[in-house]
Structure 1
Amino acid sequence: MQNPNHPADTNLCSVTQRTIDAPAALRAVQAAIRHATQIGVRVNVSVVDAAGVPAAFARMAGAPLHSIDIAIDKAYTAASFGLPTGEWQAALQSHSEAVRAGLVLRPRFVAFGGGLPIVESGERIGGIGVSGGSEAQDTDIAHAGLRELGLSV
């Protein structure tokens, strides 16, 4: 069987995965911080790569300390599942009670707004997470980061 990610070599046991690079991650964080400043909110912003590994992070002075980890985990959740974190409550309704109860107990899983997958040309390359404002503000700020990269959800 031919490996679709490596059509020339059927003996490879790996696949190629695209991921956000540091300059793009930094641009997204900076754009998110600019937008947060414009709307008067102090937040933490995290961008992770496709594997959920931190690529860029910024904490605005005065942003809630607990929101540091929440921003990182929102980015991680969005990157790992490819679903905005604010859509999880609705998405879980189609699953069994065991899944609804168990998934939200997983470490690092966030099921409220502020985390967005970063998708380029149909491929998930990372996630952005914002925490410190309301869910709506965090989500809006995360969208500003995506817009800077010419992307949307």
Structure 2
Amino acid sequence: MAPTLKVETLSQDAAKVAIEACEAKARSMGIPMNIAVTDSATHLLAFSRMDGAKITSISIAIDKAFTASGHRIGTHLYKEAVWPGGPAFGIGNSNGNRFTTIGGGLPVLGRNKEILGAIGCSTGTPAQDQEVAQAGIDALQKLLQSTRAKL
């Protein structure tokens, strides 16, 4: 039994790669976004508020990344579970009201499905936010694969 754990997490450089990919996708869609990247412990690594992104969406993007990182699944997956009577009803009141079930937060998973961090996007519809976050995930997966190939 090991008395300590080694936890992999996204680096600042990786967070910048994710932000750039998300910004490019948001521009191609014509929707300015707030984009947050967290590490594996839910802490904010990087944030971008594109010109024209909604000010009220700043904390939403950060909380989407927080939720996806902390619970290790996309925020959109809670949709049915949070309705009154659902198994996760009231979960939005947890974690200082930071837990969000609005789509647009996606976890970044490592090769063994361990959580490395997350991306949260907000300003568009939940589906648009998720599409932009997915662009960041795709860029990070490419980066991770290229790095593994060099090892």
TM-score by length of 1: 0.85
Aligned to 1:143: 134
Aligned residues: 139
Aligned to 2:7: 17
Shift >6 Å, 4+ stretches? none
1:109: how far off?
0.6
Indicate if the aligned counterparts of 2:105 and 2:130 stay in contact, CA closer than 8 A. yes
Aligned to 1:6: none
TM-score by length of 2: 0.86
| Cα distance in 2, alignment partners of residues 100 and 143 from structure 1 | 25
Q: Residue 73 of structure 1 is aligned with which of 58, 63, 80?
A: 63
Q: Deviations over 1:69-95 (max 9, x none)?
A: 0000000000000110011123557xx
Q: Residue 29 of structure 1 is aligned with which of 19, 44, 64?
A: 19
Aligned to 1:8: none
Matched position secondary structure for 1:36: helix
| Counterpart residue identity of residue 136, structure 1 | A
Aligned to 1:100: 88
Consecutive unaligned residues in structure 2, runs of 5 or more = 143-151
1:99: how far off?
5.2
Matched position secondary structure for 2:48: strand
| Cα distance in 2, alignment partners of residues 123 and 54 from structure 1 | 18
Consecutive unaligned residues in structure 1, runs of 5 or more = 4-11
| Cα distance in 1, alignment partners of residues 77 and 86 from structure 2 | 19
Matched position secondary structure for 1:46: strand
Q: Does 1:133 align with 2:128?
A: no
> In the TM superposition, what are the counterparts of 1:56-67 in structure 2 within 5 Å?
56-67=46-57
Indicate if the aligned counterparts of 2:80 and 2:86 stay in contact, CA closer than 8 A. no
1:97: how far off?
3.9
Give 1 or 2 for the bigger CA radius of gyration: 1
Percent identity at matched positions? 36
| Counterpart residue identity of residue 132, structure 1 | T
Aligned to 1:48: 38
Cα RMSD for the two superposed structures: 1.8
Matched position secondary structure for 1:117: strand
| Cα distance in 2, alignment partners of residues 33 and 103 from structure 1 | 30
